[in-house]
Amino acid sequence: MIAFRHPMFLLMLIPLAGLMLVWLAQNRKRTPWLKGSSASVQKALLSGLDENRKKRKGWFFAFSLMLLILAASGPQIGIRLSPVERKGIDLVFAIDVSNSMNAEDVKPSRLEKAKYEISQVIRSLKGDRVSMIVYAGVSHFYLPLTTDYEAAQLFLENIDTGMIPTQGTSLSSALNTAISGFQEESQKHKVVILVSDGEDHEGEALAIARDAADRGMTIHTVGVGTLKGSLIPVPVQRENNVQYKRDRQGKLVTSMLNEGILKDVARAGNGIYTRFDNRKGGFHALLNAVDDMEKKTFKTFVYSEFEDRYQIFAAFSMLFWIAGFVYPTSRKRSHDQD
């Protein structure tokens, strides 16, 4: 397999081919440059000239130019295996998809704001692996660890509050799922980013966060929403009709950001707490925390690419050029000649 780094140089082969055709046509005529001279002059000048050797000399120069053009075009032949080392950490985003994330105290909604800020973090990563968990009353791995950030963005875009039928907010389930995704003994260079409005319905998250921190994992938490809170929109079939969630007594439910539990989990997990609200740039605190961490060198892998081979063509071009200069055009002397 062959490719060219600068294929435009190959166009120079066209005028070269034209010059060679003209040269061949001229060589069919015997020494046109002596046209008009007398027979005695032609015989004296051409007595020692070998026409076949003269043609070979011309071919040497032609091949030299052709190979020089090919060398300039940057031919790449075959493949080369190159080791590549990647340094980074493993990031697991645990994203709350309970109905309370539809609240609109953060525009356009808590979940959409969280998705936007997470996308900014992913866009800024270099070499880190990314994974995603979605959770409400239960949790599920949504995206395995990957360095394909474009795929991660597509998965993130498709997250919504209808993904998990079991409602509620189980921070402990999300943390357990995240921890189970790291199969290696050492949890160093492992980070869980827990994104929620803080409505923990089970209360076991603190103990799990402490246990994870003891094994070297870091847990950051992100609160999405405002302390004032907001009503929770409920999807309805009829168009242009917005309804809101009510409790068993029929009263409207206001969902407020519970920063206390999220700050406690971050403290227990040796991480930081930050908030995604209506201010811009909420992702910067997370990104700074990730950048400040010690990076791990992941296993070396190899990739294939074309190998540059212009040196071969350039070397042969020089050999033919030298051959064109030193190759004699005189006739060989006969052994019988005195």
Least confident of 13-17, 141-145, 165-169, 299-303: 299-303
Mean pLDDT value across the chain: 81
Model confidence pLDDT, tens digit, residues 39-88: 565 555 555 666 677 777 778 888 888 888 888 888 887 766 666 677 78
Tell me what pLDDT residue 166 has: 78
Tell me what pLDDT residue 218 has: 92
Tell me what pLDDT residue 335 has: 47
Instruction: Indicate the pLDDT class of residue 263, thresholds 50, 70 and 90.
Output: very high
- Residue with more model confidence, 271 or 182: 271
pLDDT for 239 beyond 80: no
Going by C-alpha positions, the residue among 73, 77, 54, 76 that lies closest to residue 13 is 73
Query: Peptide bond before 108: cis, by omega within 30 degrees of 0?
Result: yes
Q: Which long-range contacts (CB under 8 A, 24 or more apart) does 100-103 make?
A: 100/169, 100/197, 100/199, 100/232, 100/255, 101/161, 101/197, 101/224, 102/161, 102/232, 102/233, 103/197, 103/225, 103/229, 103/230, 103/231, 103/232, 103/233, 103/255
Tell me what pLDDT residue 222 has: 94
pLDDT for 302 beyond 70: no
C-alpha distances out from residue 309 to 5, 7, 66, Å = 11, 14, 15
pLDDT for 153 beyond 90: yes
Superfamily of domain 85-300: von Willebrand factor, type A domain (3.40.50.410)
Least confident of 1-5, 19-23, 182-186, 288-292: 182-186
Instruction: Indicate the pLDDT class of residue 172, thresholds 50, 70 and 90.
Output: confident
Domain ranges of the chain: 2-74+309-326, 85-300
Cα gap 290→90, rounded to integer Å: 10
Token pair in block for residue 86: 């990647």
Highest mean pLDDT among 83-92, 95-104, 225-234: 95-104
Token pair in block for residue 200: 């923990």
Tell me what pLDDT residue 119 has: 95
Tell me what pLDDT residue 83 has: 66
Cα gap 26→322, rounded to integer Å: 24
pLDDT for 214 beyond 60: yes
Tell me what pLDDT residue 299 has: 61
Instruction: Indicate the pLDDT class of residue 221, thresholds 50, 70 and 90.
Output: very high
pLDDT for 237 beyond 60: no
Tell me what pLDDT residue 55 has: 77
